[in-house]
Structure 1
Amino acid sequence: MTASSVHHARSLLFVPATKPERFAKALDSGADCIIIDLEDAVAEGSKDGARAQLAQHLPQLTAAQLARTVVRINAVGMPWHAADLALLRDWVTQGVAVMLPKSEDPAALRTVAQTLGEGAQIVVLVESLAGLDAVDALAREPQVARVAFGHLDFQLDLGMRASVEEPELAFARNALVAASRRASLPAPIDGVTTDTGSAERLAADARRARAFGFGGKLCIHPAQVAGANAALGYSEAEQAWALRVLEEAVKRGGEVFSLDGRMVDLPVIRAAEAVRATLPG
């Protein structure tokens, strides 16, 4: 089975399944992953056509591109859900991951995983209070690769009207980060920034996501990718530091040591290992 890149993706760029001509451009945008959307970006009358277009164009992607591809299917209980799963059964073995919107029920998630087949990697999208209440159980399902926050639908579900900096959503963000940690999953994925014309707003939202402990961000425009990558990734200096720490730790055989005037103990080594885990190869 081909490995998926979704586990450590910083930027995940949405592209409508009805626009297959944009797939290659999205993959070339610098995004770590793309999310081909069969759900919100597709009108009800176009669902079957969008799925047919996706089936036609997935074979045109290389193995490396497939490993960077996530497909957001229609939610459990929707008329198009079963057909979406049927299409993707043949592609999850090629590295394509699946995003399940409106994730709320661990039993329903288990059924989705069984239908897709062993080894399918699923991103659960929490978009409601019910999803937040169940997030620990959802995150612990063995085929879940990552948790994502659909913060716009979440606000609608609770009747919220968050301010620009969204302090009102801190409780939910904290819960998703904690659930991911308890389940030993990679850091979760934060929601979109709707203001596609403001690099400053995107950068601020991405910095907030990292401050909360998120490791990725959903993007809706290619212009948002670089800002998400910069805020949620590690600089070349941070990467070099981490590799130096790990090299020296091997030499020291587990002893506490000093590097560049900074004490290096086990927590620091674990932080360096987390940086190394995001590096290619």
Structure 2
Amino acid sequence: MDHLLAHRTARLASARTLLFVPADRPERFLKACASGADAVILDLEDAVSPARKAFARSCLAEWLAQPFHGERPSLVVRINGFDAQDLDAELALADAPVVDGLMLPKAQSTLDIAWVHRVLPSKPLLPLIETAVGVHAIEEVARVPGVVRLVFGSVDLMLDLGVTEEAALDVYSALMVLHSRVLGLPAPIDGVTRQITDLQALSSAASKARARGWGGKLCIHPCQVDIVDRAFRPSDEELVSARRIVEAAQAQGTGAIALDGAMIDVPIVLQARRTLAEAAVRAMQPHIGVSS
């Protein structure tokens, strides 16, 4: 893996906030990049009506050709489905040097995903699992070369399954977390929360996702970014607790230890060390600087 691909892969693997912006709204591109999101998803698919697909491609082509200065998030292009009439044109756009990855909608065919990787081997792939067939094929999809992380398309999956309650998706989301861990991928990205104005509901959903093993969340509005980011960061209380556990383990030696009248066994110590390590890595990962 060359240095640029490794850098792109590492940043997408650690991204916690991924913000969608419609590709036919160029006036929003810089605002999205300034939102604080780890990645901005330039969306050619669901956010763009069929009548505006060509316009969206022209907007994106013009913007991607401009020089970037200073810091920016990772840039990801969400293409249309593999049966899209203008797929070649979309892949050509995604081949721009400033594009850091591709998001693949309704990912379920390993042959299709592998083909995209052969066409654009320098672009990490983020397959959206949002169909029943895609859920059934999670393991095969996750193994395709170029796939760096799984993403949950919860809204489309509810439609495909014919369910109306998000709780019905819990079993399928757990499969994504499980297979990501088994296959050595980073924790997957949770789907969107559609309530833009109910920020408390968003915070609750993001905190719940983190507790269930997700590593980040899709956002549909800039106002969601900071709330999701805070939900996926260790709180000050968690960091203090983790430091005390690690210090106690260092002082008392291996095996179970006593702290505040409770027994702390090895898995708890390892989790505390992971919490501190994640916080340290996050502190060292500002947006990349881009000069042209």
- The 5 A counterparts of 1:53-64 are 53-58=59-64, 59-62=66-69, 64=71
> Residue type of the partner of 1:105?
S
- The 5 A counterparts of 1:151-170 are 151-162=154-165, 166-170=166-170
Query: Following TM superposition, by how much is the alpha carbon of 1:243 offset from its aligned partner in structure 2, in angstroms?
Result: 6.7
Q: 1:255 to 1:96 in 2, by over 3 A?
A: same
Under a length normalisation based on structure 2, what TM-score does the superposition of the two structures give? 0.83
* Paired residue secondary structure (1:103): coil
* Paired residue secondary structure (1:124): strand
* Paired residue secondary structure (1:206): helix
> Residue type of the partner of 2:37?
A
Q: 1:124 to 1:114 in 2, by over 3 A?
A: same
Query: Following TM superposition, by how much is the alpha carbon of 1:142 offset from its aligned partner in structure 2, in angstroms?
Result: 2.8
Match of 2:45 among 29, 39, 45: 39
Report what 1:269 is aligned to: 270
Quick one: distance in 1 between partners of 2:67 and 2:241? Answer: 39
Report what 1:219 is aligned to: 219
Q: Deviations over 1:34-89 (max 9, x none)?
A: 11101111122221221221122123334742x52111111111112221112222
Report what 1:125 is aligned to: 128
Q: Kindly indicate whether the alpha-carbon contact (under 8 Å) linking 1:245 and 1:269 is maintained by their aligned counterparts in 2.
A: no
Quick one: distance in 1 between partners of 2:225 and 2:115? Answer: 33
Q: 1:266 to 1:213 in 2, by over 3 A?
A: closer
Quick one: distance in 2 between partners of 1:142 and 1:243? Answer: 38
Report what 1:8 is aligned to: 14
> Residue type of the partner of 1:263?
I
Q: Deviations over 1:162-190 (max 9, x none)?
A: 1xxx2211111111111111111111111
Quick one: distance in 2 between partners of 1:147 and 1:17? Answer: 22
Q: 1:80 to 1:137 in 2, by over 3 A?
A: same
Report what 1:201 is aligned to: 201
Q: 1:62 to 1:130 in 2, by over 3 A?
A: farther
Q: Kindly indicate whether the alpha-carbon contact (under 8 Å) linking 1:146 and 1:187 is maintained by their aligned counterparts in 2.
A: yes
* Paired residue secondary structure (2:89): helix
Q: Kindly indicate whether the alpha-carbon contact (under 8 Å) linking 1:14 and 1:37 is maintained by their aligned counterparts in 2.
A: yes
Q: 1:248 to 1:111 in 2, by over 3 A?
A: farther
RMSD: 2.6
User: Gaps (5+ residues) in structure 1?
Assistant: none
Quick one: distance in 2 between partners of 1:244 and 1:144? Answer: 37
- The 5 A counterparts of 1:1-281 are 1=4, 3-4=7-8, 5-58=11-64, 59-62=66-69, 64-65=71-72, 68-91=74-97, 94=98, 96-117=100-121, 119-162=122-165, 166-239=166-239, 255-256=254-255, 258=257, 261=260, 263=264, 265=266, 268-269=269-270, 272-273=273-274, 275-277=276-278, 278-281=281-284
Quick one: distance in 2 between partners of 1:55 and 1:247? Answer: 53
> Residue type of the partner of 1:157?
D
* Paired residue secondary structure (2:88): helix
Quick one: distance in 1 between partners of 2:182 and 2:205? Answer: 24
* Paired residue secondary structure (1:139): helix
Q: 1:271 to 1:90 in 2, by over 3 A?
A: farther
TM superposition outliers: structure 1 runs of 4+ over 6 Å: 243-249
> Residue type of the partner of 2:31?
K
* Paired residue secondary structure (2:103): strand
Aligned-residue identity in percent = 38
> Residue type of the partner of 1:103?
A
Under a length normalisation based on structure 1, what TM-score does the superposition of the two structures give? 0.86
